[in-house]
Structure 1
Amino acid sequence: MQKFSTVELLRDIKTVTMAADRQPVAITQHRRARYVLMTYDEFEAMKSRGDPRRVYGANEAPQELVDLIMPELDRLIEEGREADG
């Protein structure tokens, strides 16, 4: 990802926005990346994809997820017991 400082953004917005047309760019402040500049279309596409990750509390997880996780947890617990002797 290309980086530009906030000073570079203020001095040469055309160069920075042209770079953002090609791919998102990081805008740095005090040498740390603080912002991302991207095209609006790219932002909308990113928003529409959403984040499929979800957090579940105890007893909230769907059964198919429980069926995937429980055997592995049981295996790890048993492995830990064997290691303890």
Structure 2
Amino acid sequence: MKQFSATELANKTGDVLAAAAQAPVAIARHGKPRFVVLSAERFEHLQARGDSRRAFHVADLTDAEAADLIGALQNSIDHD
């Protein structure tokens, strides 16, 4: 994913929006991605999927949640 700083967003808004029209872009503050900019079409597509997918940072998972995630990933690999 292409990344821009918050300063670049302020100074080069057109460039950021042009990139976001092609694919989601990350907006970083203090060197860490904090936001994602994507086209309305892509956002609507994600919403229309209707599933309960959510994003989590791995560091925020409990040990049990991490174990469940690893198990689910291994299960999906085994069924491919």
Give the TM-score of the pair, scaled to structure 2.
0.62
User: Identity across aligned pairs (percent)?
Assistant: 40
| Cα RMSD (Å) | 1.2
- Decide which structure has the larger Cα Rg and report it: 1
1:50 shift after superposition: 2.8
Query: Where in structure 2 are the equivalents of 1:46-85 lying within 5 Å?
Result: 46-51=46-51
Partner of 1:9: 9
Give the TM-score of the pair, scaled to structure 1.
0.59
Task: State the distance in 2 between where 1:15 and 1:40 align.
Answer: 17
Q: Aligned residue pairs: how many? A: 53
Partner of 1:64: none
Task: State the distance in 2 between where 1:13 and 1:52 align.
Answer: 32
Which ranges in structure 1 are unaligned for 5 or more consecutive residues? Answer: 54-85
